[in-house]
Structure 1
Amino acid sequence: MENEEYDTIDLLEVLNAVRQHLAILILCTLAAAVVGFTVSKFAMTPQYESSALMIVNTRQDTTSNVTSDQINSATKLVSTYSIIIKSDTVLQQVINDLGLSLTYGELKDRVTVDAVDDTQVMKITVRSNNPEWAQQVCNKITEVSPDAILEAVEAGSVKVISQAPVPTEPVSPNVLKNTALAGMVGLVLCLGVIFLQVLLDNKIKSEEDIAKYLDLTVVGVIPEYERGKKK
């Protein structure tokens, strides 16, 4: 153990290497950010989402007062209703009514149903690269699903409280986020290359390196100087 040698990483040496390659580090970060921006802006297809809101009730009769137990029961029914909405009973009818050139599985992947803040309101969202198509499909689902839900559950009611609008802004890709992530990746990769360069560099460059790596005492140094055009 006494004769075993260990290589240590000099943090100051790494920082000096980073400082010496600072310009390259900045260029790599900017280049990666530009690539991320270009890919997000011009190579990726924008995706739009259109959403509609539906409220779930535990019964069809809404003339009397609604109790808290009924609201809690309706909240629990949202997850059940979401499964029915994404079933082939509903989505296949949507495909047939609109004449879509999609299979049931392809349309299901574009539809999400979520509860809004653990309430009895559920949000139906359709994603597509065509905003008008997303709105049309979402509204058709809200039109078809209530009858399918009542037929399956045989209780309660579902009503649309907000129709799906035509989305104006894409939800993906997030150009700013992708640009920042690409810049960070470029920065990390460049730092990794610099770190490996310092770690694998075993050259003797100064008298301090002789004392550090060879454990020898420096007794003299021959300087290098320039005289005219000759060294």
Structure 2
Amino acid sequence: MDLRDYLRILRRNWTIIVAFALAGLLLGGAVSLFSKPTYTAETQLFVAIQGSGTVQELQQGNTFTQARVQSYVKTVVSPVVLQPVIDTLGLTLTAEELAGKVKARTDVNTVLISIAVEDSSPVQASAIAAAVGDSLIKAVDMLEKPKAGGTSPVSLSVIKPAVAPLYPSAPNTRLDLILGMLTGTLLGVGFALLRTTLDARIRNEDDLRQVTESPLLGAISYDQDAEGRPLVTQHAPQSPRAEAFRQLRTNLQFANVTGTANTVLITSSLPGEGKSTTATNLAIALAQAGRTVCLVDADLRRPMVAEYLGLERNAGLTTALVGAANVNDLLQPWGDDELYVLASGQIPPNPSELLGSSEMQHLIERLGEAFDTVIIDAPPLLPVTDAAVLSQHVGGVVLVVGVQKIKRHDLEKSLSNLRLVEANLLGVVLNRVPAKGADAYNYGYYSKELPSKGGRSVAASRSRRAHPGAAELSSELPREDGTRTAVPWPRHATGAAPEIGASRHF
């Protein structure tokens, strides 16, 4: 992963990182609040060599003193120094326990020794520091005194007496808060990286590219109103959703530059990825471009096209396949453009057998000859084999990938199924792409929807006027023998479908 990938992960999981940081901040505050205050008292000693004071002796004494100071610092926490302190102050501690409260240090190239003592009582901390300083003076005097007698050449003097501190040295509330927030942030970033590594869902184009190099025909952004208003005609003409399907229409035409794939199968890996809405809106977009389009609902398990368009579902594809009616009589026109819909018909007990039959193949061929484009909404690839079987009878396949709905291994299996039957995969459509955030896929150059009328957008109102939905109209479609027959289901526009070639009674 490069820097952009890491930045995308941080943007995607910023709420988790902030939550961890706040938790660390609260934990740091709790530690500071419930910690017992500790006071630190400090005394400072000066080490000198007693001599005549000549220049040579002073230089030698200074070198000697600096060499010895480090030894005196280590002597501070020895029993020789601490035991007299315990005896003098009557402490109930051992020399080893007292050594844990005493710290001694010296700065480089100096002869100063600093002794700091920590205790829960400021008075006792200052008393112990003063007693340790006095005890060190006596211990050094005893250790440095010549065995032949005389005074010690080393003299220690207190230059900074220990005083009782007014404020505790610990806990440091500010430091605890900073460390808590920093620790929480690092844990949040680590959790975000781990979560991303373990999350196999397809989230954006980069995740898609890790699975397949198939062309990305389009990206449909997530619209929270799509469930209630799934059709592009129910939105403003320049809305992001309508523009996305126009872009998909254009890219599909480029993917089919040879013009041999005028029958296109729309499928997905799993249910709920949005294949039916994609197929329906793509058919509408193609019809709006002036093409004659036939939309076939071949999902004989969970048909949705007729419900989206407000058409009669009980007579349709299965009716034609079993020979109960001529396909010319079953096509239902929709809208003001040349869009005709072949609904699913009654749900049969054997969908796979019907869709895999020679009758279905022949029907697709006849529709392909009669229309500029045939869009077929097929069942998902993984639960059933219907789509894989149908893909052998069409010119091309478009695979809809629902963002955050499908995992990489499921997509890999779907692509493998298509390769196994040698299907012509025209490309992939990313659906439900976030409109904002790290995984967004749009450029934001769209006009807003027109002001609403009574809670409905103007585009939606116009759509309802153009497509009344349930108006019973008595229309006729041409039969192969030249006669016309009435269509006994709701229609949305007048006009006749292109004449389908010589029929076969299935």
For the criterion TM > 0.5, the same-fold answer is: yes
Per-residue CA deviations over 1:17-65 (Å, capped at 9, x if unaligned) read 432433333232122112112212x222222221111111222x6x745
Amino acid in structure 2 at the alignment position of 1:124: I
Aligned to 2:98: 107
Distance 1:76 1:218, change over 3 A: closer
Amino acid in structure 2 at the alignment position of 1:88: P
Corresponding residue to 1:171 among 165, 169, 172: 169
Q: Structure 2: how far apart are the matches of 1:211 and 1:87? A: 67
Equivalenced residues, count: 220
Q: Does residue 42 of structure 2 align to residue 44 of structure 1?
A: no
Aligned to 1:83: 74
Secondary structure of 2:115's aligned partner: strand
Q: Structure 2: how far apart are the matches of 1:205 and 1:161? A: 68
Asked if 2 retains the 8 angstrom alpha-carbon contact of 1:31 and 1:183, the reply is yes
Aligned to 2:211: 213
Q: Displacement of 1:213 after TM fit?
A: 0.8
Q: Does residue 72 of structure 2 align to residue 74 of structure 1?
A: no
Aligned to 1:6: none
Asked if 2 retains the 8 angstrom alpha-carbon contact of 1:112 and 1:125, the reply is yes
Q: Does residue 130 of structure 2 align to residue 132 of structure 1?
A: no
Q: Structure 1: how far apart are the matches of 2:106 and 2:206? A: 67
Amino acid in structure 1 at the alignment position of 2:164: V
Higher mean alpha-carbon deviation, 31-40 vs 207-216, is at: 207-216
Asked if 2 retains the 8 angstrom alpha-carbon contact of 1:55 and 1:160, the reply is yes
Secondary structure of 1:67's aligned partner: helix
Q: Does residue 176 of structure 2 align to residue 185 of structure 1?
A: no
Distance 1:30 1:151, change over 3 A: same
Aligned to 1:21: 13
What is the percent sequence identity of the aligned residues?
A: 25
Q: Whose helix fraction is larger, Structure 1's or Structure 2's?
A: 1
Aligned to 2:140: 149
Distance 1:50 1:199, change over 3 A: same
Q: Structure 1: how far apart are the matches of 2:15 and 2:217? A: 37
Amino acid in structure 1 at the alignment position of 2:227: E
Aligned to 2:84: 93
Q: Structure 2: how far apart are the matches of 1:69 and 1:218? A: 83
Q: Structure 2: how far apart are the matches of 1:57 and 1:221? A: 82
Aligned to 2:114: 123
Q: Displacement of 1:96 after TM fit?
A: 0.8
Aligned to 1:5: none
Per-residue CA deviations over 1:127-180 (Å, capped at 9, x if unaligned) read 112111110011112223322221111122212122111112322332222211
Q: Displacement of 1:208 after TM fit?
A: 7.3
Higher RCO structure (Cα 8 Å, ≥6 apart): 1
Secondary structure of 1:199's aligned partner: helix
Amino acid in structure 1 at the alignment position of 2:49: T
Distance 1:27 1:133, change over 3 A: same
Amino acid in structure 1 at the alignment position of 2:88: D
Per-residue CA deviations over 1:51-81 (Å, capped at 9, x if unaligned) read 111111222x6x7457222122122221222
Amino acid in structure 2 at the alignment position of 1:52: T
Asked if 2 retains the 8 angstrom alpha-carbon contact of 1:210 and 1:216, the reply is no
Asked if 2 retains the 8 angstrom alpha-carbon contact of 1:210 and 1:218, the reply is no
Q: Which has the larger radius of gyration?
A: 2
Q: Structure 1: how far apart are the matches of 2:102 and 2:129? A: 8
Structure 1, gaps ≥5 residues long: 1-8
* Length-normalised TM-score, structure 2: 0.39
Q: Structure 2: how far apart are the matches of 1:74 and 1:207? A: 71
Q: Displacement of 1:101 after TM fit?
A: 0.5
Higher mean alpha-carbon deviation, 175-184 vs 77-86, is at: 77-86
Q: Does residue 194 of structure 2 align to residue 203 of structure 1?
A: no
Amino acid in structure 2 at the alignment position of 1:34: L
Asked if 2 retains the 8 angstrom alpha-carbon contact of 1:14 and 1:198, the reply is no
Q: Structure 2: how far apart are the matches of 1:159 and 1:223? A: 79
Q: Displacement of 1:220 after TM fit?
A: 8.9
